[in-house]
Amino acid sequence: MEAMKIMLVDDEERFLSSTQKLLTKKGYEVVTASSGTEALEKIRGQNIHVVILDVKMPGMDGNATLKEIKRQFPLVEVIMLTGHATMESAIDGLKSGAMDYLMKPTDIDEIILKAEEAFGKRQGLEEKIRVARMRKLVKSPSEIIRES
């Protein structure tokens, strides 16, 4: 099975590097981006499955980045990382299509747990798409016959 490819987006460089090391050690492929713009660029070139996205960032903030990701890459699952105890930003995120949210400071295990969950969902989705495509392919000849 394909290994999960995670992208970490945060303006804290040290958080990115440490977490990347950790996740890599746990066997995940990790890409980092220190801004929303960078994240969007990097997703374009690679097949990212799950994005862990900080809500509060200078420049393009988490929610704006989320909307852009969902618009351009609807299949990419996003988990919001929020420093707010208020549910507002998290709820906004969920409404805009985030899969889940994590409250800072969060455990690495929790990140992995939610990421796995998101990855599972992503895989389920991809599976459904594959099946649908297959059906279309299988169905095609008969349709052709019927049409003729």
Partner 1 sequence: MKQNPYAGLKKVILAGMILVPLIPFILVLGIGYYYFTTSLENNTIASMRRIVQDHRQMIESFLMERKADLEFILNTNRFEDLIRPDKLQRTFENLQTESQAFVDLGIFDISGLHVAYYGPYQLSGKLYDQASWFKAVMRNGFYISNVFLGYRQVPHFVIAVAKMNQGRQWVIRATIDTHIFNDLVKKVRIGKTGEAYLLDAEGVFQTERRSGGPLMKKDPDRPRYGPVHEGIKTFIDSDAHGEPFLYATTWLKDGSWLLVVRQEKADAFKALRRASYLIVLISVIGGAIIIAVAFFLTGRIVRRMERMDQEKDQLDEQLIRAGRLAEIGEMSAGFAHEINNPLQIIKSEYALVEMILADLKERGELKQSEDLAELEDSIDQIKLQVDRCADITQAILQFGRKEEPVIKDIELRAFIPEVVGMVANKAGVHGIAIEQEISDQNSDVHGDLRHLQQVLVNLLNNAIDAVIARHGSSGGAIRIESGPAENGQVEINIRDNGSGISSENLKKVFTPFFTTKPVGKGTGLGLSVCYGIIDKMGGSMAVASQENVGTTFTIRLPSAK
Q: Which residues bind partner 1 (CB under 8 A)?
A: 12, 14-15, 18-19, 21-22, 25, 56, 83-88, 103-108
Cα(55)–Cα(81) distance, integer angstroms: 6
Q: Which is nearer to partner 1, 12 or 126 (CB)?
A: 12
SS3 46: coil
Tokens standing for 106?
Answer: 């969060």
Give 48's Cβ-side CA count (13 Å radius). Answer: 30
Give 96 or 106: the residue with its C-beta nearer to partner 1: 106
**At closest approach, how far in Å is the CB of 4 from partner 1?**
18
Minimum distance between the CB of residue 72 and partner 1, rounded to whole angstroms? 27
Query: What's the min distance (Å) between Cβ of 65 and partner 1?
Result: 17
Return the closest-CA partner of residue 80 out of 61, 99, 67.
99
Find the shortest distance in angstroms from Cβ 26 to partner 1: 8
Residue whose CB is less far from partner 1, 29 or 70? 29
CA distances from 146 to 118, 142, 143 (A): 41, 6, 5
